[in-house]
Amino acid sequence: MAQRITVDPITRIEGHLRVDCEVDGGKVTKAWASGQMWRGIELILQGKDPRDAWVFTQRICGVCTTSHAITSVRTVENALKLEIPLNAQYIRNMIQGAHAVHDHIVHFYHLSALDFVDIVSALKADPAATAKLAQSLSDWPNNSVADFATAQKRLAAFVNSGQLGIFGSGYWGHPAMKLPPEANLMAATHYLQALDYQRRINKVVAILGSKTPHIQNVAVGGVTNPINFDSQSTLTLEKLMYIKTLIGEVGDFITKVYIPDVCAVGALYADWTAIGRGVVNYLTTPDMPIDTKGTKFALPGGYIENADFATFKPITSFSDPYFEQGVKESTKHSWYETGSGPLHPYKGETKPQYTDWQDDGKYSWIKTPTFYDKRAQVGPLANVLAMYAAGHARTKFWVGEVLNTVSAIAGAKVGADALHSTIGRHAARAVRCVVLHEELSNQWNLLMENIGKGDTTTFNKPVFPKEEIRGYGVHEAPRGMLSHWAVIKNGKIENYQAVVPTTWNAGPRDEKGNLSAYEAALMDSPVADAEQPLEVIRTMHSFDPCLACAVHLTDTESKSTYQVKVA
Amino acid sequence: MNSPILVLGLGNILMQDEGIGVRVVEALEQGWTFPDHVSLVDGGTCGMDMLDIIASHRHMVVVDAVKTGAPPTTLVRLEGDAVPAFFKGKLSPHQVGLSDLLATLRLQGEGPESTVVIGCVPAGMRITLDLTPEVAAKVPDLVRMVLDELRALGVEPAPR
């Protein structure tokens, strides 16, 4: 007999996500993902000066403030057909690269590793055996017996204090936890080390962004960082050299710790390469523009259909009609008025119509975006697959490295098809992290070279016409492709829509009843214990859900505790 | 040397009274000057991004919207055992994950020595940038409460 499981909310994510599953014979047979908060940024922006929109959009979310800031200014620049000085492109590229590297490290270690790593089991590990295991995977200098013994003592003190805090929602001792104690201790120790490295790379965002946690340096037309090596209040040579040092320090952590850890978890949980496949149409945007017009990019992007590289179609610019015309949003299963059917974001409406939960009707505050009427998955996996299909050399290199390492640890050949899975999304995020980190260094070099040529321009002044103009901005954010869409008239915003990554992945069923990436990825997933649906959590976390920007808060009280209901 | 003190305004300014913490920090910045060891930070709804900021201060005064079940506009001061409950989300309406942040800092041995929360029960949480008039009228009181906390920590703020 089918059992109904409700997990509400999914923890260790930003925002409020509810997941319902029907489980029959130990497998998920039906799935619903629902955003439980409503977002109204669109309404706030109507009538505002488009030059200020980014100040408000960066408040949508507490995690991706920089992503929404950069995407918003790109939107207005696109509407104005405004060129952006090279220095401004490089500085923005470095901000977004550093932010994403920080975000990916935090996601793997602090938000999702505990789905696979058992902290309580780590306390039983032998530090010497742990060091032997870790040294077989990497020559990272902080993999000594003393490192693991010290970390184990700190973890034990923390766990024994009874204040589990960050570790409080783990499923310790769950039958799906399979790592030996030594692998658990290795990963838990790196969890502690990762705290330090994510802070270092985030300093790059703080220095370039002038203020933290909300950056202050972007503007429609460029950035507001004056470049003058002789003045202390500007972007000086000293600051740029410090940024280079920070970038360098984090590189070894990614290649010698993050990548080997993901490979080890992937190999030791090899069955998870066949779980969580979901929607295998992948959509991603090119990013890190390296010209003033947004037509040349350091990192390619595009669309892949049905997991087939041969179908790859590149998106070639920040104003490619292939992308601009392909996006629509449906509200058939969302708590908004349905009107005349799916709408292009320029015409998008946000009129709430709450109905309570309906399995076959409306059940989410998230809208349902489609690309040429098809569901698509976005995120690091989509990004890595598209860059691979486009022939991006460093992506191909790192995908090869990761698959070879996983195969070696598992003792069996693991091919690229394994990437279309729950564990594959973690592997792809690690590949994207190292590729972005390498590109961060490239962007630093490009900026220095350009300044060396005597170019210190960082801003082109925008001028708004009286007539109606429209534009969109895209960005490959840590959770996937983010787009903002604006209609501007008389220098004021008429309409503004944000189609965020989690909307693509977590939206409810579409017009034809097709499942979202979240829902499809849960289908057929094993569930060993309906009271402790760790498997559901694993697949959800692999997408790195961030609901704060997909929807916003309506329910303010009594939802602070995590519940699993089994009916 | 003086121990560094952080005044951290939290909340989402897009949601009316939810943004009260940020608005109080703005009012403090506009009306007062502080010695160098006091930092005023608009934290918005950020989480991990603030690890470094919190780790580099010894004392923390958090200003936030607080739901205690008391009537709207009630002013609240929390310290001691009440603070962890606040950060677990039972009292704070947004999902900032500060409880995780503080737990992480404790694990690293970098948590603040003292934390006080100054708050106000919201009267409205609609999608709009302006505070409700009732809560806006409480901003001067909240500013005074923060100044009192700073004075108790040996700081003498000067009016601009």
Centre a 10 Å sphere on the Cβ of residue A492 and count the other Cβ atoms it contains. Answer: 13
Q: What confidence tier does A562 reach under pLDDT thresholds 50, 70, 90?
A: very low
Reference A189, options A244, A268, A237, A260; nearest CA is A260
Please check the confidence at residue A153 and state whether its pLDDT lies above 80.
yes
Which residue in the set A40, A199, A214 is minimally distant from B51, CB to CB? A199
Whether A477 contacts chain B with CB within 8 A? no
Residues 42-71 of B with CB under 8 A from A: 42-53, 55, 67
Residues of A in contact with B107 (CB under 8 A): 154, 158, 165-166, 192
Strand partners of residue A501: none
As a whole number of angstroms, the distance between CA A75 and CA A268 comes to 44
Please check the confidence at residue A561 and state whether its pLDDT lies above 60.
no
Please check the confidence at residue A556 and state whether its pLDDT lies above 70.
no
A9-13, A66-70, A327-331, B34-38: range with lowest mean pLDDT? A9-13
pLDDT at position A552 is 28
How close does chain A come to B55, measured CA to CA in Å?
11
Look up residue A234 and give its two tokens: 């500007």
Which residue in the set A44, A198, A560 is minimally distant from B129, CB to CB? A44
CB contact under 8 A, B52 and A206: yes
Please check the confidence at residue A558 and state whether its pLDDT lies above 50.
no
pLDDT at position B105 is 84
Mean pLDDT of A510-531: 94
Render pLDDT for A383-393 as a digit per residue (tens, 0 to 9): 999 999 999 99
| Beta strands across the sheet bearing A17-24 | A27-35, A17-24, A3-8, A563-566
Q: What confidence tier does A545 reach under pLDDT thresholds 50, 70, 90?
A: confident
3-state helix, strand, coil in chain B (%, to 5): 40, 25, 40
pLDDT at position A505 is 96
As a whole number of angstroms, the distance between CA A284 and CA A505 comes to 12
pLDDT at position A273 is 95
B96: which residues sit within 8 A by CB, 6+ positions away? Answer: A62, B10, B43, B45, B46, B47
pLDDT at position B39 is 96
Residue B78 has, within 13 A of its CA and on its CB side, a CA count of 21
Which amino acid is located at A98 in the chain?
A
Q: Tally the residues of chain B.
A: 160
As a whole number of angstroms, the distance between CA A332 and CA A368 comes to 8
Which residue in the set B14, B44, B93 is minimally distant from A214, CB to CB? B44
Residues of A in contact with B55 (CB under 8 A): 199
The rounded mean pLDDT for chain A is 91
Please check the confidence at residue A9 and state whether its pLDDT lies above 80.
no
Q: Is the separation of the CB atoms in A20 and A32 below 8 Å?
A: yes
Render pLDDT for A235-245 as a digit per residue (tens, 0 to 9): 889 999 999 99
Q: Is A441 helix (H, G, I), strand (E, B) or coil?
A: helix
Q: Is A496 helix (H, G, I), strand (E, B) or coil?
A: strand
Which amino acid is located at A61 in the chain?
C
Please check the confidence at residue A49 and state whether its pLDDT lies above 90.
yes
Render pLDDT for B46-83 as a digit per residue (tens, 0 to 9): 877 888 899 999 999 999 988 878 899 999 999 887 77
As a whole number of angstroms, the distance between CA A213 and CA A235 comes to 19
Which residue in the set B42, B95, B102 is minimally distant from A214, CB to CB? B42
Which of B10, B12, B40, B48 is best to mutate for the A interface (most A CBs within 10 A)? B48
Which amino acid is located at A558 in the chain?
S
The rounded mean pLDDT for chain B is 88
CB contact under 8 A, A552 and B127: yes
How close does chain A come to B71, measured CA to CA in Å?
14
pLDDT at position B89 is 61
How close does chain B come to A155, measured CA to CA in Å?
8
Whether B106 contacts chain A with CB within 8 A? yes
pLDDT at position A404 is 97
Give me the helix-helix angle, A259-268 and A393-410, nearest 10°. Answer: 50
Whether A552 contacts chain B with CB within 8 A? yes
Mean pLDDT of A289-294: 98
**Domain ranges for chain B:** 5-159
Q: Is the separation of the CB atoms in A96 and A475 below 8 Å?
A: yes
As a whole number of angstroms, the distance between CA B90 and CA B97 comes to 12
pLDDT at position A61 is 75
Please check the confidence at residue A482 and state whether its pLDDT lies above 50.
yes
Whether B111 contacts chain A with CB within 8 A? no
pLDDT at position A261 is 97
Tokens 């936890």 locate to: A177
Which residue on chain A is closest to B93 by alpha carbon?
A556
CB contact under 8 A, B44 and A163: no
Q: Is the separation of the CB atoms in A411 and A455 below 8 Å?
A: no
Mean pLDDT of A172-199: 93
Reference A424, options A385, A456, A473; nearest CA is A385
Whether B136 contacts chain A with CB within 8 A? no
pLDDT at position A329 is 94
Which residue in the set A15, A102, A166 is minimally distant from B95, CB to CB? A15
CATH code 3.40.50.1450 for B5-159: yes
Q: Is the separation of the CB atoms in A275 and A263 below 8 Å?
A: no
> In whole angstroms, how large is the CA radius of gyration of chain B?
15
Whether B11 contacts chain A with CB within 8 A? no
pLDDT at position A557 is 35
pLDDT at position A550 is 46
Whether A544 contacts chain B with CB within 8 A? no
Residues of A in contact with B15 (CB under 8 A): 552-553
Strand partners of residue A22: A4, A30
Task: Walk me through the domains of chain A, giving residue ranges and CATH numbers.
Answer: 3-457+470-566 (1.10.645.10)
Whether A160 contacts chain B with CB within 8 A? no
pLDDT, tens digit only, all 160 positions of chain B: 689 999 999 988 988 998 999 999 999 999 999 999 999 999 988 877 888 899 999 999 999 988 878 899 999 999 887 777 777 665 555 554 677 778 788 888 888 999 999 999 999 988 889 999 999 999 999 999 999 999 999 999 999 9
Residues of B in contact with A166 (CB under 8 A): 100, 103-104, 107
Whether B107 contacts chain A with CB within 8 A? yes
Whether B88 contacts chain A with CB within 8 A? yes
Reference A428, options A372, A390, A478, A363; nearest CA is A478
Whether B89 contacts chain A with CB within 8 A? yes
CA trace torsion A518, A522, A523, A527 (10° rounding): -170
pLDDT at position A227 is 87
Percentage of chain A modeled with pLDDT above 90: 75
Whether A563 contacts chain B with CB within 8 A? no
Render pLDDT for A314-328 as a digit per residue (tens, 0 to 9): 999 999 999 999 999
Which residue in the set A63, A195, A560 is minimally distant from B47, CB to CB? A63
Whether A491 contacts chain B with CB within 8 A? no
CB contact under 8 A, A203 and B52: yes
Strand partners of residue B64: B119
β-pairing, B114-120 with B75-78?
Answer: antiparallel
β-pairing, A218-219 with A222-223?
Answer: antiparallel
Q: What confidence tier does A551 reach under pLDDT thresholds 50, 70, 90?
A: very low
pLDDT at position A173 is 80
